């Protein structure tokens, strides 16, 4: 797929010969984008890039997946990786974790002036492999990245450009990355409506172990436990209400995808699981020991932290987000929007945060900051109970 030139870690640290290239190279606006891998994230990136005005070409090792994605995303299909990346200003690799490094190396080898990034959930081990496998002269154009968005669903059928709206998109330039390439990528990401955060790849991997990978593990373990208990108590899942459904939503995620993610980040996720187990044991001891004050304190601290957490990490300047619970019945959303329309409240954005299960659903309303007080009054007058998130 590509010609690889391995270099030792000590050689890469010095990055001999890279500085002159970085000083001379200039990157123009990103107008032509190639997306390699057209599942949910790849197709969502393609849609967002096209929405921002770019010309987009896609390629996937599975022609059937690529055809379905192209029909939905409206991008041009390529017959090969080389064809997809030809003439591109940016290549975004959206393939499964085990294949990211070789596909990045192939994209770098097939281009000369193209920035190459990826969207994998693990960055440290992947970027180190790219640094070892790709030709040294190509490495300044490689800038690892990870958009913190997605869904428990998989496949291009569930893609949407809104997957990237307002999310944090981490980039982790390597010691060989051209600062100009990193800046060009950052500008492009911001143009899609995402917020760029720079951090070292290994730090990223540790943090996502807690806020992304551990929730998947906890959700899967809880659903597995309930399913095991169902063997003796077949009615247990009949009693499952909204809380259980919310907590186990991630258990519906793609098994192969998450297996590869957890194994690729095994040391970090093991630490996160250990600390989580310690926290559960501490709470268990307080409950068994009838230490009511300690139990209440744990719940109070968690509640306070949760109320500070908006589902969308980035809220654009000049707007506010209100969370509103609505009943799970036909016409409930229409009633909500009618209440706002009658109150002359303009909706900047509206999102259903999770499926309306367990008798209720949650809606996030984005309104102008100047209108948040009036919007709150209108919702309260309509027998709704809004909570401002941001």
**Homologous superfamily in CATH for domain 204-307:** 6-phosphogluconate dehydrogenase C-terminal like domain (1.10.3660.10)
Q: pLDDT tens for residues 308-343?
A: 764 444 445 567 888 888 876 778 888 999 999 999
The per-residue DSSP string of 278-313 comes to: HHHHHHHHHHHTT-HHHHHHHHHHHHHHHHT--SSS
Backbone angles phi, psi at 365, to 5 degrees: -105, 130
Residues of the chain with CATH 3.30.70.260: 319-388
Mean pLDDT on 249-255: 85
At residue 241, the pLDDT reads 73
At residue 309, the pLDDT reads 64
Q: pLDDT tens for residues 121-153?
A: 999 999 999 999 999 999 999 999 999 887 667
Distance CA 269, CA 262 (A): 7
Distance CA 45, CA 69 (A): 11
244 band by pLDDT with thresholds 50, 70 and 90: confident
Our CA angle for 349, 352, 357, nearest 5°, is 165
Mean pLDDT on 173-189: 95
| Residues whose CB falls within 8 Å of the CB of residue 339, separated by 6 or more in sequence, listed in order | 378, 379, 381, 382, 384
At residue 4, the pLDDT reads 38
Q: 243-250 contacts: CB < 8 A, separation 24 or more? A: 243/358, 244/358, 245/355, 245/357, 245/358, 246/354, 246/357, 246/358, 247/218, 247/219, 247/222, 248/219, 248/222, 248/223, 249/152, 249/219, 249/354, 249/355, 250/152, 250/215, 250/216, 250/219, 250/220
Cross-strand partners of 362: 325, 354
Angle between the N-to-C axes of helices 255-264 and 214-230, in degrees from 0 to 180, rounded to the nearest 10: 130
| Residues whose CB falls within 8 Å of the CB of residue 85, separated by 6 or more in sequence, listed in order | 34, 36, 91, 107, 110, 111, 114
At residue 360, the pLDDT reads 59
CA proximity to 91, closest of 115, 119, 127, 112: 115
Into which CATH architecture does domain 9-199 fall? 3-Layer(aba) Sandwich (3.40)
112 band by pLDDT with thresholds 50, 70 and 90: very high
Mean pLDDT on 68-80: 92
Mean pLDDT on 52-77: 93
Residues of the chain with CATH 3.40.50.720: 9-199
CA proximity to 258, closest of 221, 229, 227: 221
Give the CATH class of 319-388.
alpha beta
Q: Is 61 a residue whose pLDDT tops 50? A: yes
At residue 239, the pLDDT reads 80
């Amino acid at each position: 797929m590509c010609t690889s030139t391995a270099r030792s870690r000590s050689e890469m640290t010095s990055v001999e010969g890279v500085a002159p290239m970085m000083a001379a190279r200039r990157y123009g606006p990103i107008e032509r984008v190639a997306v390699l891998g057209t599942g949910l994230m790849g197709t969502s990136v393609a849609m967002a890039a096209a929405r921002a005005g770019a010309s987009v070409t896609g390629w996937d090792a599975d022609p059937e997946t690529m055809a379905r994605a192209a029909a939905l995303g409206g991008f041009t299909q390529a017959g090969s990786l080389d064809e997809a990346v030809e003439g591109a200003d940016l290549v975004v690799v959206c393939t499964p974790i085990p294949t990211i490094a070789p596909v990045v190396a192939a994209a770098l080898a097939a281009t000369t002036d193209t920035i190459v990034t990826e969207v994998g959930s693990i960055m440290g081990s992947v970027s180190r492999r790219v640094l070892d496998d790709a030709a040294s002269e190509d490495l300044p154009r490689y800038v690892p990245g990870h958009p913190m968005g997605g869904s428990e669903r998989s496949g291009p059928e569930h893609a949407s450009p809104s997957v990237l709206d307002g999310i944090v998109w981490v980039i982790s330039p390597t010691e060989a990355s051209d600062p100009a390439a990193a800046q060009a990528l950052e500008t492009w990401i911001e143009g899609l409506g995402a917020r760029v955060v720079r951090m070292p790849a290994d730090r990223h991997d540790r943090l996502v172990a807690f806020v992304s990978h551990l929730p998947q593990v906890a959700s899967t373990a809880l659903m597995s436990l309930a399913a095991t208990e169902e063997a003796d108590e077949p009615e247990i899942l009949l009693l499952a209400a909204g809380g259980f459904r919310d907590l186990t939503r991630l258990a519906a995620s793609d098994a192969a995808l998450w297996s590869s993610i957890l194994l690729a980040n095994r040391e970090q996720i093991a630490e996160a699981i250990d600390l989580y187990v310690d926290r559960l044991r501490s709470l268990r001891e307080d409950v068994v020991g009838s230490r009511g004050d300690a139990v209440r304190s744990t719940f109070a601290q968690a509640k306070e932290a949760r109320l500070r957490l908006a589902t969308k990490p980035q809220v654009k300047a000049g707007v506010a987000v209100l969370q509103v619970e609505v009943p799970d019945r036909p016409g409930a959303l229409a009633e909500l929007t009618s209440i706002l329309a009658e109150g002359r409240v303009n909706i900047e954005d509206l999102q259903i945060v999770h499926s309306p299960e367990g008798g209720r659903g949650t809606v996030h309303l984005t309104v102008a900051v100047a209108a948040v007080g009036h919007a709150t009054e209108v919702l309260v007058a309509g027998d709704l109970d809004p909570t401002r998130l941001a």
